[in-house]
Amino acid sequence: MEAKISNEVYFLDGCVIEDDFVYVACNLEDVDPREYTHSRLSVYDAQSTQEWKWFYHDVDANIVSVCVKQPDATRGRLLCSLSKEGEVELFDNANGPALHEKISGAGVRLGTGGYVSQIREIGAALFVCGQHGQVYKRTAAGWIHVDQGLFNVPEGFDSDAIMLNSIDGNHENDVYVAGDDGKIFHFNGTSWSSVETGIDEHLNWIRVYGNAVWACGYNGALLTGNARSGFRDVSSSDDNLTFQSLARFQDKIFLATINDGVFVYDGVGIRTVDSGLNPPVQSHHLDCRSQVLWSFGVKDICWFDGKRWVRVDHPDNPAL
């Protein structure tokens, strides 16, 4: 008899569409991503008038990152997902079928450039970064390399290979990427330049808020600065902490860890956030758009409006 596959999921990434509306990439608990290419892309709509607040569709890809692309002259708002092999889905649940695209060269099984790690809307364009210094931009002609001087696929192991984990920017001519060994690079629309960080810890996340650029990573690293002035490490946290992501909310920088909860930097120091929830918030990715901060953990989704933390249950998972 064939074993029945459970619908229980764990969460890979999430992003905020609106304060009460989020997009979440999931994997089925019983489906091994090393053996199968499958992910579940879900929206949680707190304002839905239907009985269920969760809606989903499945894709034959191993998704690693999601983002929202705001409406432009050609199409409405798109929910975007990226697989590690460079497969991109642009989903519009209101105005027509999804678009499916493949970034040529990206991937290991479907390309030779290496895995890609994150998709982000910067300005009016979508950007993707990944291993070996890969950076791509989506144009009217398709996905193109914008990584001249960074992209290099070595033969065999190369300790100097550029591994990019996160990308963000103010606009298409002001883009930052962060990666392993404390590396941050800046793109001015023409060329890339290395930005001094003063550390060699792996950086997992970078977010750009005007002139203030923030990055975080291993051993409690929390950097702030920009390409003009360089970066400084403002962390005062335990070196054993690994910050997986960050988001600015109500003039504070919130930081996610996988096993140690959520932290906040208030301009003076880093402290643990007391959510008042039992169990405490479990988080690895944070995002916010306006008045609400959302936390996405492996098995936990919560939101914070500045006054209270609220846990959102998933219908296929046991309540925490």
For 65-88, give the secondary structure using H, E and C. Answer: EEEEECCCCCCCCEEEEEECCCEE
Residue 7 binned pLDDT confidence (cut-offs 50, 70, 90): confident
**Residue 249 forms beta bridges with which residues?**
252
What's the pLDDT score for residue 93? Answer: 67
What's the pLDDT score for residue 6? Answer: 75
pLDDT greater than 70 at residue 5: no
Q: Give the residue among 71, 2, 9 at the shortest CA–CA distance from 41.
A: 9
What's the pLDDT score for residue 31? Answer: 87
More confident residue, 74 or 118: 118
CA 28 vs CA 62, 95, 115, 318: distances in Å: 11, 28, 21, 14
What's the pLDDT score for residue 158? Answer: 65
**Residue 88 forms beta bridges with which residues?**
82, 101
Q: How far apart are CA 210 and CA 166, in angstroms?
A: 17
Token code pair at residue 248 = 């600015």
Task: Indicate the average pLDDT of the chain.
Answer: 93
Residue 85 binned pLDDT confidence (cut-offs 50, 70, 90): very high
Residue 72 binned pLDDT confidence (cut-offs 50, 70, 90): confident
**By 3-state DSSP, what share of the chain in percent is helix, strand and coil, each rounded to 5?**
5, 50, 50
Q: What is the pTM of this model?
A: 0.95
Cβ atoms of 106 and 113 closer than 8 Å:
yes
* 56, 59, 62, 67 alpha-carbon torsion, rounded to 10°: -60
Cβ atoms of 255 and 238 closer than 8 Å:
no
190, amino acid identity: T
User: pLDDT > 70: what percent of the chain?
Assistant: 95
185, amino acid identity: F
